[in-house]
Amino acid sequence: MKYFSFAVLLGIQNGFTTSASLANEKIYEAAQAKLGDDVLLSSTVTAASRSDSGHRILVSSPEGKQLIQADKLIIAVPPLLQNLEPFDLGDRETEIFAQFDSSFYHTTILRLSGVPNNVQIFNRGVDTPYNIPVLPGAYVFYPSQIPNLFTGFFGGGTVELSEDEVREIIIDNALQLRNAGYDVSDPEVLAYGNHSPFQLIVSSQAIANGFYRDLYSLQGLRKTWYTGAAWHAHDSAALWRFTERLLNERVIVG
């Protein structure tokens, strides 16, 4: 319900708010300009020592290894064990984060002739309960402002697919539009992005056992705080608000 919220419904109905330039990266460029040399790009945390008295974070960057010392730490990556392995997790953290599973999500730009530019194509299962599509597969093809170019969103399944496998299934899904009477020929994937892991989940039994109570109890433990979709929702505006409140009410004053 948080993922498919009232705000999302209003966005679908009235249009989503975006920048005048339609460039979503502008907010990150502004943040980078403000932070200046304190931003490390193309860098990876390789080891960390975390304690209530402070943190020591070893980072591998294009300029070589760098040691960061900090009083507090905010982590925004998807909290899967393989992502958090360098962060010196304790037993309690490991036990909680190990329960997460995730789905997979890919975005594409597709050249798709034979489909009108004012038509959105939603994947629906013909012979499945509630017409849920067979996944992994395309969720939807959205028309763009450029004729014959569509944005395609793809996901589902429990096994991560290669880029070639995703492209093949996307093209096969597009060709099935012929069954709906569209004169589709030679679909082509022009651009591809992999946003996996996506939408972290746990079992219903874990939720009943208090998983999210235990998860939120980690906020502030060992002077470490967390933000990101796993802690709130896959909603950019909601996450900005969540992070602002986390900083102002918990991190800065703590």
User: Do 160 and 95 fall within a single domain?
Assistant: no
pLDDT band at residue 254 using 50, 70 and 90 as cut-offs: low
- Counting the structural domains of the chain, the total is 2
Q: Give the domain extent around 88.
A: 31-99+205-251
On whether residue 163 sits in a domain, the answer given is yes
In a domain, 174, yes or no: yes
Does 217 score more than 80 pLDDT?
yes
In this model, does residue 4 exceed pLDDT 80?
no
* CATH assignment of the domain containing 72: 3.50.50.60
- pTM, entire model: 0.85
pLDDT over 90 at 20, yes or no: no
Using CA atoms, how far apart are residues 215 and 5, in angstroms rounded to an integer?
22
Q: What is the pLDDT of residues 145-165, one digit of tens each?
A: 899 999 999 998 778 899 999
pLDDT at 166 over 80: yes
Q: What is the pLDDT of residues 65-124, one digit of tens each?
A: 999 999 999 999 999 999 999 999 999 999 999 999 998 999 999 999 999 988 999 998
Domain stop point among 194, 226, 241 = 194
Please check whether residues 185 and 119 belong to one and the same domain: yes
Q: Give me the percent of the chain exceeding a pLDDT of 90.
A: 72
